[in-house]
């Protein structure tokens, strides 16, 4: 497995990480505990060193699962988790997710201690603010993180779904190692302002949903319908009136993958890796075969000519529909 560096502080991670959310949140049916631990251990055996979770996944149960699975390997992996929600008093959406943001420094302290306990560790390698809290200046958040770092409880920090201006302000107070954002062939908005900002500041990008929430794997038909318990059922671009046309992108990826004698998922991940040397995708899966498929993308090289050809093909495909419902979108990009 190749490795990459996030930020100027030398945080080294595997070129492809593992997003743990789907083991217990958003995409049922969920694996048993033994199955989930088995997938995590298989990822480690295949060279993955970067694992991503959050207190809100579950909530709380995903951290507990990941903490138990990684405990025997703690000194060999980079563990990322997130704070930023009020899990006690927050309102919930239709899928049970909390919608109340809270990044007050005293709440951050409580969240940190809880995550450390559930993750069975004395430090967090990469600690993200999950969503920007408009009620708390980002400078105050960065100041609290700086205190956690002095205590050795946080080694590096980052932001998730933050606007470029917010990233700049945070970075000026306490250097940011990485910004986590959705980024893939399916969602390319970060290319406009976020990626240039990160490149200028020397900050890494951790790409979540790098396979377009499963679309780019080629597993869905045009008439696919998502169960109400599935997070995708709430997303406009997955609604029947949009989804059929949106699959043109997935079909294009399948065609190119076939020509390159690889899988659509590997091609989509290889495309991300080729975009910038400081981009690290964190695909999630509950399947051992899909895990092996995803990790194999690190061995695929796309030439400049192939990247240009893919770029040209994508310019003729328009994705219709927002990537979040209005309520969810209100929590991004502040």
List 156's β-bridge partners, or say none. Answer: 126
Q: Give the pairing of strands 154-160 and 178-182.
A: parallel
End-to-end CA separation in angstroms for the chain:
35
> How far is Cα 221 from Cα 231, in angstroms, rounded to an integer?
18
Q: Which of 5, 78, 10, 82 is nearest to 43 (CA)?
A: 78
Q: Contact at 8 Å (CB) between 185 and 268? A: yes
Residue 289 CB partners (closer than 8 Å, separation 6+): none
Q: In this structure, what DSSP letter does residue 32 have?
A: P
Angle (deg, nearest 10), helices 33-45 and 288-295: 20
Q: How many CB atoms lie within 10 A of CB 171?
A: 22
Structure tokens at 12: 């080294």
Q: Which of 93, 92, 163, 95 is nearest to 131 (CA)?
A: 163
* Catalytic-role residue among 18, 27, 57, 127: 57
Residue 18 annotated among the catalytic residues of the structure = no
Q: Contact at 8 Å (CB) between 143 and 169? A: no
Residues annotated catalytic, as ranges:
57
């Amino acid at each position: 497995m190749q490795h990459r560096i996030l930020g100027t502080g030398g945080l080294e991670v595997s070129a492809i990480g593992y997003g743990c959310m789907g083991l217990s949140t958003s995409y049922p049916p969920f694996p048993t505990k033994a199955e989930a631990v088995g997938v995590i251990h298989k990822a480690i055996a295949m060279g993955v060193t970067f694992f991503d979770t959050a207190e809100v996944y579950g909530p709380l149960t995903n951290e507990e699962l990941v903490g138990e699975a990684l405990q025997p390997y703690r000194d060999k992996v980079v563990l990322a988790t997130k704070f930023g929600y009020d899990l006690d008093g927050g309102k919930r959406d239709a899928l049970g997710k909390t919608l109340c943001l809270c990044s007050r420094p005293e709440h951050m302290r409580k969240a940190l201690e809880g995550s450390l306990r559930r993750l069975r560790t004395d430090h967090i390698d990469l600690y993200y603010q999950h969503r920007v809290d408009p009620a708390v200046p980002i400078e105050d958040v960065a100041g609290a993180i700086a205190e956690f770092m002095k205590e050795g409880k946080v080694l590096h920090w980052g932001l998730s779904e933050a606007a470029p201006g917010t990233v700049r302000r945070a970075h000026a107070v306490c250097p940011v190692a990485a910004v986590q954002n959705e980024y893939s062939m399916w969602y390319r908005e970060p290319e406009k302002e976020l990626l240039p900002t990160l490149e200028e500041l020397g900050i890494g990008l951790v790409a979540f949903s790098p396979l377009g929430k499963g679309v780019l794997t080629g597993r869905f038909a045009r008439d696919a319908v998502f169960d109400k318990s599935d997070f995708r059922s709430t997303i406009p671009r997955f609604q029947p009136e949009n989804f059929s046309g949106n699959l043109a992108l997935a079909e294009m990826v399948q065609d190119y993958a076939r020509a390159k004698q690889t899988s659509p998922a590997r091609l989509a991940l290889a495309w991300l890796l080729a975009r910038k040397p400081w981009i690290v995708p964190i695909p999630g899966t509950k399947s051992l075969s899909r895990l092996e498929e995803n990790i194999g993308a690190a061995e695929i090289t796309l030439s400049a000519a192939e990247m240009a050809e893919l770029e040209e093909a994508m310019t003729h495909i328009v994705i219709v529909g927002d990537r979040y419902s209005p309520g969810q979108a209100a929590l991004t990009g502040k």
